[in-house]
């Protein structure tokens, strides 16, 4: 029986054990069937063990690359090549007899079951660092979440994503793609002076001005259109303001590691409650005084060298790089503004809070404190997420948003 494991499955040029150059070097031996013929002799000796009654495989002949040589040397090369062709045909014949089909490319696929028995579960393979194999299943978000989900049957299939301070609509690129693939209509807002919005951040003087792109969008909706608002970070204060202005157009509000404030409180009040043990937040903040040092700050800048430690401690490096060249100043005046929220308007919208456990910007204990003082309908958690779950846990975030969107309308009492 032919001993296949020593035959390379995909020999590259120059690496085949019996190339033309090797044949030249080994011509001085004791013949093709002798011991001094090296790999070719070993191969032919294995072939000779086959059942003599079996019909020999067809021999494919090809022109010798050294056919210009004369005498016994050229004859030996021709014999070498005929033997090589016969060996290749025999290998293919053996595979056909066992139903092998095409050569398998990955040893990790061929021996996965055996390795799992001997060494435990197979090592995880990252689809982002290797080409897709034909053996890999192609799973879509719809298959991973709810196969029977029809977004047309939901209370609304429109999701509006509102970024946090310094961010822009660009930060939602993964979430937008996943939600749209699942059948949702998605709109990511660039707040004033953020993302590609060209307004000077230092000139923003109120929360009303900062949230104007969001409120203008809600105002443009039809009478029967409703949306789900998702606010991240300081975007939580912005969606709270929008809920107070347009409660009839918001079916659910999702606070994603965000400022979920009570009536009469500001985002600054929330941050003053934070006990930052390592001082990262204080060291990362740089105040901007565009109106002079004798006037209040106009904006806050985040030190780029501390971005990863503060915001992206669990996020991929490529997303940290994207943020480092895309983030803009955070307007200071909206952070100081105290919200006016009423139970009749703001309180009529269903609220959900999504916690992030590895958050260094708004630590988990601070998120939990906001939920205790201003309880939402439900609290969900993204384990292992930093302050940017759209980067560090995009699939888990997607699943959570779909779960909230699929919750049936609340029963009126």
8 A C-beta contact, residue 211 and residue 242: yes
The H or E element containing residue 144 is helix 141-144
Neighbouring C-beta atoms of residue 171, cutoff 10 Å? 25
Instruction: Give me the residues paired with residue 230 across strands.
Output: 161, 254
Q: 163, 265, 387, 398: which is the annotated catalytic residue?
A: 387
Is residue 294 flagged as an active site residue? no
Q: Which helix (H) or strand (E) holds 39?
A: helix 38-47
297/295 Cα distance (integer angstroms): 7
Active site residue 232: no
- Of the listed 233, 265, 319, 386, which one is catalytic? 233
The partner residues of 285 in beta bridges, in order of sequence, read 302
15 CB burial (10 A radius; 0-12, 13-18, 19+):
exposed
Catalytic residue among 80, 190, 319, 359: 359
Beta-carbon contacts of residue 71 (< 8 Å; ≥ 6 apart)? none
Q: Annotated catalytic, 233?
A: yes
Return the beta strands (E) in 84-162 as ranges: 158-162
Exposure class string for 40-75: b at 16+ Cβ within 10 A, else e: bbebbebbeeeeeeeeebeeeeeebeeeeeeeeeee
Q: What is the chain's alpha carbon radius of gyration, rounded to the nearest angstrom?
A: 33
Q: Which residues pair with 252 in a beta bridge?
A: 228, 350
102: β partners: none
What is the SS3 assignment for 159?
strand
**Any bridge partners for residue 219, and if so which?**
none
What does 269-330 look like in DSSP terms, one character per residue? HHHHT---TT-HHHHHEEEE-TT-TTS---EEEE-GGGHHHHT-TTS-HHHHHHHHHH--PE
As a whole number of angstroms, the distance between CA 312 and CA 308 comes to 4
Q: Are 312 and 320 in contact (CB under 8 A)?
A: yes
Per-position DSSP letters for 184-243, written without gaps between them: -EEEEE--TTSTT--S-GGG---HHHHTHHHHHHHHHS-TT--EEEEEETTHHHHHHHHH
Among candidate residues 409, 404, 410, 412, the one with its CA nearest the CA of residue 149: 404
Active site residues: 233, 359, 387
């Amino acid at each position: 029986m032919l001993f296949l494991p020593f035959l390379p499955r995909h020999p590259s040029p120059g690496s085949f054990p019996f190339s033309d150059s090797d044949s030249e070097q080994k011509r001085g031996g004791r013949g093709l069937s002798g011991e001094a013929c090296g790999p070719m002799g070993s191969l032919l000796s294995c072939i000779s063990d086959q059942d003599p009654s079996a019909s020999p495989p067809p021999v494919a002949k090809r022109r010798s690359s050294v056919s210009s040589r004369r005498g016994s040397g050229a004859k030996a090369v021709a014999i070498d090549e005929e033997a090589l062709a016969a060996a290749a045909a025999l290998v293919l014949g053996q595979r056909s007899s066992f139903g092998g089909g095409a050569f398998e490319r990955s040893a990790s696929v061929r021996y996965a079951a055996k390795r799992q028995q001997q060494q435990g579960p197979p090592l995880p393979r990252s689809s982002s660092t290797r080409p897709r194999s034909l053996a890999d299943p192609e799973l879509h978000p719809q298959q991973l979440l709810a196969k029977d989900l029809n977004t047309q049957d939901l209370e609304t299939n429109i999701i509006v994503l509102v970024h946090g301070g310094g961010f822009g609509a660009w930060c939602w690129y993964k979430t937008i793609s996943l939600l749209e693939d699942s059948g949702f209509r998605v709109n990511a807002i660039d707040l004033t002076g953020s993302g590609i919005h060209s307004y000077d951040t230092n000139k923003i003087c109120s929360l009303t001005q900062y949230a104007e792109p969001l409120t203008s969008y809600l105002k443009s909706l039809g009478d029967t259109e409703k949306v789900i608002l998702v606010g991240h970070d300081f975007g939580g204060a912005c969606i709270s303001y929008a809920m107070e202005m347009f409660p009839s157009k918001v079916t659910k509000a999702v606070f994603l590691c965000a400022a979920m404030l009570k009536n009469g409180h500001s985002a600054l009040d929330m941050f003053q409650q934070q006990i930052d043990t390592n001082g990262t937040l204080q060291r990362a903040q740089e105040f901007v005084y565009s109106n002079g040092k004798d006037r209040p700050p106009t904006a806050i800048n985040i030190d780029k060298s501390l971005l990863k430690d503060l915001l992206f401690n669990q996020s991929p490096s490529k997303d940290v790089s994207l943020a480092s060249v895309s983030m803009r100043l955070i307007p200071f005046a909206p952070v100081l503004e105290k919200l006016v929220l009423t139970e009749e308007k703001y309180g009529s919208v269903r609220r959900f809070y999504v916690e992030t456990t590895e958050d260094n910007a708004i630590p988990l204990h601070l998120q939990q404190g906001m939920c205790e003082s201003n309880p939402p309908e439900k609290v969900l958690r993204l384990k292992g997420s930093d302050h940017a779950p759209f980067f560090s846990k995009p699939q888990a975030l997607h699943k959570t948003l779909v779960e909230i969107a699929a919750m049936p309308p609340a029963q009126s009492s």
